[in-house]
Chains A and B, each alone.
Chain A
């Protein structure tokens, strides 16, 4: 592809670029394609690649273009369904949502069709309780500027959305690789690039010196909804926004005094030990009494016999008695 001819064509459109709106984007890009002579395109498929900015920079070999083509088409097909903030992957962040925090995936590749090179953008995150959607769910004012409502102003999202944070647009071309979290050096970067934790800062509400946007902990057992908004930094205007996320509920906690500590029925071992030992003790006592009794009876017999018999007879009678036992 000849770069020179393409850039010449692009300059013809530069006047129109300033007045482009997001919804007209696709129509404008189609017009741009028609200006480029068909013979300059290495293959017919490249035409679709141009719908995404990052395809323009690539495009040297046919194979990479085909792969990118597939990804682009998939991206286009799923763009409408995924344009909502999502909860972080459960396999990755297992403690989510917690009692007072929710960790959301950062908006990767959600706003790519609205981004222009050489302009700086920021992403604003808005949080509101689901009950506030009947009161107000607007995140922009009349002049398309993002709403600057804070946690305190909206009573924690009860009266409308509040701005919880702003951060740079995450890089769609080089998304964080989740398996890299196993590497100790890369792990902190992967976490901050991939997830944003709503409710992370417990002190900013009470710190009089805090100047930034406060992201205080949420309320347990409450449903919240989140939205990402793309804002152009120089103009301060909202360029694009996702839909409100699905309702996400924070956890509820139970009281420990309700835990039942009754052990249930007796174990078999305890029953065996108790019953057998009781029987043994009973038999021992019986045997002891029997032997004492027989000893007493024996001595009574012996004393009775000694009164009426000679000593020699007594001895000979006792010996057989002992021998027969």
Chain B
């Protein structure tokens, strides 16, 4: 009898440990997703303009799933200690629902990350950067967002264009409609600027003399944060779910074995 008692106690201990880990992971997931949603790199307007901002939707789901995991893990610990069938059943059902939501979040983040290619941002930059007023308010809002984001990107990361400044020469763009090629082969922020915001040598910048214009592309500065966000949400969520799977299986087994 003592042996089976010990076996039960050990099993309960394992379930409690599992729930503690789930609770802590829930807090971590909430914190991580709040960080991503706060958009520290200011790249959200670019995604908004592509109308494909689902990696942010995945992060929002992650915030609430994290809270739910925390609350349910506390419920689970209480239920296992009391060995109450009703509580355990409630725990299992709510955990299954949370599992489904988290699964949706992971798959969304992983899938929509695949859509973020250099060509997508190139097309968007060419069609929306410095686009003069046209169409409706939504269009105007998105174009302004793209313009501000690109200006900030080029200034902070010392880069120009998606793959390089030659993007502005190879393709026509909304920018080219307003500014002639002779005056602006590429936008003003592609020139190396001094502390007051004017180019150190405008002719050197127009001619493409090394040192007077920014020759790097901005794609690394865009894709880096977005990849980290998508993979952070997707893979961390996946790890939590794998762990939760085992804890849930154990809990179901425990539930089926205790008597009313």
Give residues in A with beta carbon < 8 Å to B. 88, 92-96, 98-101, 103, 181-182, 184, 187-188, 191-192, 195, 197, 199-202, 217, 220, 251, 253-257, 259-261, 263-264, 266-267, 269-270, 273-274, 276-277, 280-281, 283-285, 287-288, 290-292, 294-295, 298-299, 302, 318, 322-323, 325
Does B255 lie within 8 Å of A93, measured CB to CB? Answer: no
Does A284 lie within 8 Å of B234, measured CB to CB? Answer: no
Interface residues on B, range: 35 or more
Take A182-B211, A284-B96, A291-B252 as given contacts and tell me if A191 and B204 are in contact as well, using a CB distance cutoff of 8 Å: yes
Take A253-B170, A299-B260 as given contacts and tell me if A217 and B181 are in contact as well, using a CB distance cutoff of 8 Å: yes
Take A259-B122, A284-B245 as given contacts and tell me if A101 and B256 are in contact as well, using a CB distance cutoff of 8 Å: no
In whole Å, how far is B253's beta carbon from the nearest beta carbon of chain A? 7
Bound complex: CA of A202 vs CA of B176, how far in Å?
14
Give residues in B with beta carbon < 8 Å to A. 1, 4, 8, 92, 96, 99-100, 103, 106-107, 110-111, 113-117, 119-120, 122-123, 126-127, 165, 169-173, 176, 180-183, 185, 200-201, 203-204, 206-213, 215, 231, 234-235, 238, 241-242, 245, 248-249, 252-253, 255-260
In whole Å, how far is A210's beta carbon from the nearest beta carbon of chain B? 15
Take A181-B204, A191-B201, A260-B119 as given contacts and tell me if A277 and B1 are in contact as well, using a CB distance cutoff of 8 Å: no
- Selected from B120, B180, B210, B215, the residue in CB contact (under 8 A) with A100 is B180
Bound complex: CA of A295 vs CA of B119, how far in Å?
56
- Selected from A184, A202, A260, A269, the residue in CB contact (under 8 A) with B183 is A202
Does B231 lie within 8 Å of A269, measured CB to CB? Answer: yes
Bound complex: CA of A94 vs CA of B214, how far in Å?
12
- Interface pairs (18), CB distance under 8 Å: A94-B207, A95-B169, A95-B208, A96-B207, A98-B169, A98-B182, A181-B204, A181-B211, A217-B181, A254-B171, A255-B171, A263-B120, A274-B107, A276-B238, A280-B241, A280-B242, A283-B245, A292-B256
Bound complex: CA of A100 vs CA of B96, how far in Å?
64
Beyond the given A269-B110, A287-B253, could you list 20 further A-B residue pairs with CB under 8 A, ordered by the A residue number?
A88-B207, A93-B208, A98-B169, A101-B206, A182-B211, A187-B209, A256-B123, A256-B126, A259-B171, A267-B114, A273-B107, A274-B107, A277-B238, A280-B245, A281-B100, A285-B96, A287-B248, A288-B252, A295-B256, A302-B259
